[in-house]
Amino acid sequence: MKILVINSGSSSIKYQLFDMAASGRVLCSGLVERIHEPMGAIKHKKFPDSPEEAVFADELPIPDHKIGMQLVVDRITNGQTAVVASPDEITGVGHRIVHGGEFFSAPVIVDDSVVEKLTSIIPLAPLHNPGHLAGIATARELLPAAPQVTVFDTAFHQTLAPEAYLYPLPYEFYEELRVRRYGFHGTSHGYVFGKTAEFLGRAPEETSAITIHLGNGCSMDAVKRGKCIDTSMGLTPLAGLMMGTRCGDVDPAVYPFLAERKGLTVKDIDAICNKQSGLKGVCGVNDMRDVHARRAAGDEKAQLAFTMFCRRVTHYVGAYMALLGECHALSFTAGIGENDVDVRQQVCQTLGYLGAKIDAEKNKTLKRGQPGDISTDDSPIRILVMPTNEELAIAQQTLALLQTI
């Protein structure tokens, strides 16, 4: 009942090992980084029964993902870093996959056909899927007794109707290239929605909510009676909300305008929109904590960035309430959503007329890391803070699938 969760990126491998027989207790976690560079690193945290964690860090060359995965397996199973006696104790491996295209609406056990499909949609996620495939290949080789399961960030959004996922572009672009809205952060949104229904004491199929994932990357979902009907991200994670370094929704005509007036290439503009925009583009920093520090010091651009960020979230809340027709809760999650009192207050301060009334004192005093209700007692729509746990969600979905075979 031990599930290893792997998030293999282009130059890193994040991992956690869960004991699912002990309510999903984390046995260890770690990060392999700077793969392919002259000097890489691995940081491994071991969580023993005592409250203090043990941290082990090493720097060494990590030329490829196979060496990286060998280090992960070695840290988990050998020496003072070990948390299991043998790799055979690992029941299964759950892989976080950013993009599953239209092929996958639920977790699947990896076989050659799954690998073939993931390879075919690399153009939809060129920065992510190659790293995922490398992680899958090495895990299959190093842990042959453990079934490999892929869990997709896009799967939760596969319930969108055509009128929600299609763009008003020539239909041939969808037919030939599968250009459409896919949405991301789906594992987080699905987990948080489930916890929201549980918190409200309602069955998921009787619950409608807006999940608000705010971190360096930001997205929102409208979930009606357990099914996602809209999501703010699109073909890529660039669309929708203003983010740490991503611009979110922008008039597409801005791109040819910049190309003509600034002499920029498509690649230049893509890099600007993804890495130099959002909070960073407006005020120079992408971490909301730094934005607050600059606001406190009187920085007008930081105040502008904060206001723009919150306004975009409020905008989407209003749109999603109209689409849902009924809404039982707004659920804030992820780094900013769970911890930023000012953002939550600013986003919700004008929503009272729609039935979502925030209680400023509850918002200020809610304990960090804990789920809670920060709405007024008479608010028809509950405003919740609901911590996400994507890794645990992957482990739970992996185990659930393995128990069916």
**145-187 pLDDT tens trace:** 999 999 999 999 999 999 999 999 999 999 999 999 999 999 9
Q: Annotation-wise, does 214 bind a ligand?
A: yes
Report, as residue numbers or ranges, the catalytic residues.
153
pLDDT digits (tens, 9 = 90+) for 183-224: 999 999 999 999 999 999 999 999 999 999 999 999 999 999
* Average pLDDT over every residue of 80-87: 91
Cα of first residue to Cα of last residue in the chain, in angstroms, is 14
Cβ neighbours of residue 91 under 8 Å, at least 6 residues apart? 1, 2, 3, 20, 146, 399, 402
Residue 219: which CATH number? 3.30.420.40
| Residue showing tokens 């729609």 | 354
pLDDT (mean) for 24-52: 90
Phi, psi of 120 (to 5 degrees): -70, -25
Which residue type does 30 have?
G
What per-residue confidence (pLDDT) applies to 343? 98
**190 and 147 fall within a common domain:** no
101 marked among binding-site residues? no
Domain assignment present for 260: yes
Please give the single-letter amino acid code of residue 106.
A
Question: What pLDDT score does 351 carry?
Answer: 96
Number of domains in the chain: 2
Q: How far is CA 65 from CA 22, 37, 81, 137, in A?
A: 30, 12, 20, 9
Does the pLDDT of residue 350 top 90, yes or no? yes
Q: Is residue 157 part of a domain?
A: no
Closest C-alpha to 196, from 313, 290, 330: 330
**Whether residue 51 has pLDDT greater than 80:** no
pLDDT at position 405, please?
84
Contact 149, 96 (CB under 8 A): no
Please state the rounded mean pLDDT for residues 34-43: 93
135 in a domain, yes or no?
Answer: yes
Instruction: Assess whether 300 and 379 both reside in one domain.
Output: yes
What's the pLDDT score for residue 127?
76
Give yes or no: residues 126 and 200 share one domain: no
- Report the chain's mean pLDDT, rounded to a whole number: 95
Structure confidence at residue 124 (pLDDT): 86
Q: Which amino acid is at 377?
A: D
* Per-residue pLDDT, 126: 82
Binning pLDDT at 50, 70 and 90, where does residue 60 land?
A: very high
Q: What is the pLDDT of residue 129?
A: 86
Residues 79 and 193 occupy one common structural domain: no
Residues 263 and 123 in one domain: no
Domain check: are 131 and 233 in the same one? no
- Give the gyration radius of the chain's Cα atoms: 22
- Residue 215 marked in a binding site: yes
Contact at 8 Å (CB) between 90 and 17?
A: yes
Q: How far, in Å, CA of 14 to CA of 7, rounded? A: 5
- Shared domain check, 313 and 195: yes
How far is it, in rounded angstroms, from Cα 169 to Cα 234?
14
Crossing angle between the packed helical segments 300-324 and 288-296, to the nearest 10 degrees: 130
Nearest to 190 by CA among 214, 163, 165, 209: 209
335 is in an annotated binding site: yes
pLDDT at residue 52 tops 90? no
Residue 82 and residue 220 in one domain:
no
Q: Over the stretch 255-280, which tens digit does the pLDDT of each residue have?
A: 999 999 999 999 999 999 999 999 99
Please state the pTM of the whole predicted model: 0.93
User: Is 115 a member of any domain?
Assistant: yes
Are 83 and 27 a contacting pair, CB within 8 Å?
yes
On the question of pLDDT at 226 being above 90, the answer is yes
- 364-380 pLDDT, tens digit per residue, is 999 988 999 999 999 99
What is the residue type of 79? Answer: G
The boundaries of the domain holding residue 379 are 186-390
- Comparing CA positions, the residue from 4, 75, 76, 66 lying closest to residue 35 is 66
pLDDT-based confidence at 48, cuts 50/70/90?
Answer: confident
Whether residue 203 sits in one domain with residue 148: no
Residues 192 and 334 in one domain: yes
287 is in an annotated binding site: yes
Q: Is 1 annotated as a binding-site member?
A: no
- What does the pLDDT look like over 92-138, one tens digit per residue? 999 999 999 999 999 999 999 999 999 998 988 887 888 899 999 99
Please give the average per-residue pLDDT across 76-89, as a whole number.
92
The whole-number pLDDT of residue 359 equals: 98
Pairing of strands 329-333, 209-214: parallel
Q: Has residue 175 been placed in a domain?
A: no
Burial 103-131 (b: 16+ CB within 10 A, else e): bbeebbebeeebbebbeebeebbeebbbb
The number of residues in the chain equals 405
Q: Is residue 357 part of a domain?
A: yes
| pLDDT classification of 83: cutoffs 50, 70, 90 | very high
Q: Please say if the pLDDT value at position 310 is more than 80.
A: yes
Looking at the fold, whether 272 and 138 belong to one and the same domain comes out as no
Q: Is residue 104 part of a domain?
A: yes
* Confidence category of residue 314, pLDDT binned at 50, 70, 90: very high
